[in-house]
Amino acid sequence: MNISKELGLKIRFYRREKRITQERLAELCGFHPTYIGQLERGEKNASIETLYRVSRGLNISMCSLLDEIESSFDSQEEPTVPLSIYHQLLAVPPHRQEKVYKIIQDIIALSMNCKT
């Protein structure tokens, strides 16, 4: 996954977590709604100023947007399964993330019971 896509997923995650639309985030940041969509899809590269404005619009730190992104690019290897799951979950609305998490817990519990 490229860094723009991963950053876009994080922006979308926080925006949905705050329950605001792309249009509202655009207003808060002083951007056009189309630009917010392009950022979330990883179609545009964000400048430092853009990151600052988006983080302020989301009422989070820039560090929150960038946290965990660099670890994905530390190696040239293919992403691990947990990291792949993490990336996919970022695109899922928060209320569904909880459901997916419970399903994963159930699967792990079942697999532990099968190891007899």
User: At 9, which amino acid appears?
Assistant: L
Compute the Cα dihedral for 65, 68, 72, 74 and give only its sign.
positive
> d(Cα 91, Cα 88) in Å, to the nearest integer?
6
Please return the burial class of 103, using the count of CB atoms within 10 Å of its CB with bins 0-12, 13-18 and 19+.
exposed
pLDDT confidence of residue 60: 94
**Mind listing the pLDDT tens digit of every residue in the chain (116 residues)?**
588 888 998 999 899 889 999 999 999 999 999 999 999 999 999 999 999 999 999 999 998 888 877 655 554 555 567 767 777 787 778 788 888 888 888 888 888 777 65
pLDDT confidence of residue 26: 97
- In CATH terms, the superfamily for domain 3-113 is lambda repressor-like DNA-binding domains (1.10.260.40)
pLDDT confidence of residue 22: 95
**Tokens found for residue 13:** 């995650």
Residue extents of the structural domains in the chain: 3-113
